[in-house]
Each structure stands twice: as structure tokens, then as C-alpha cells.
Amino acid sequence: MLTAVLLMVVVLAVGAQLSDGIRLKQEAAILGKLPVDEAHAYYEVLRRRARRVRILRAVALASLALVLVAARRRFLPPPKR
């Protein structure tokens, strides 16, 4: 079960990294076409959005960990003493 969870986390991390790379290339192309003032304003928007995405990903990962701990306590009996 732990191996499956770790594999799932790795797949999600790789997928997120690839999608972030594609999005970064698209945003760089957009920023290159804009005037400096507009590019700076758009860059600030992108920074806030990226920060929000990182926070939400961390919350999702923490939630997954808590769900797994709760499921383990609920469905697996404690060890015998």
C-alpha cells in the first residue's frame, strides 16, 4: 500500500512539473510580446498565482497523508501487546 501511495505521489509530482514547464514557456512567450510596464504587471499576477498553486498543492499532499493515516488507524487493527 505504501509503495502504491509513493508511486502515486511521484506520478503527480512529475506531471505537475511537466505541466508547469509547458505553462512557463507559454507565459515567457506572452511576456516577451508585451511592453515592459504591462509585462511587469502580468509577471506580478503570475507570481501570485504560482504561490497560490504551490500552497494548494502542499495542502492537498498534507490532506492525502492525513487521510492515509486515518484509514490505517480505522481499518488496520493495532498491534498485539
Give domain limits for the chain. Answer: 26-72
| pLDDT for 55 | 92
Which string of b and e fits 23-47 if b means at least 16 CB within 10 Å? eeeeeeeeeeeeeeeeeeeeeeeee
Q: What is the pLDDT of residues 41-71, one digit of tens each?
A: 988 998 898 899 889 988 988 898 898 888 8
| pLDDT for 52 | 92
Query: Could you give the percent of the chain with pLDDT greater than 70?
Result: 98
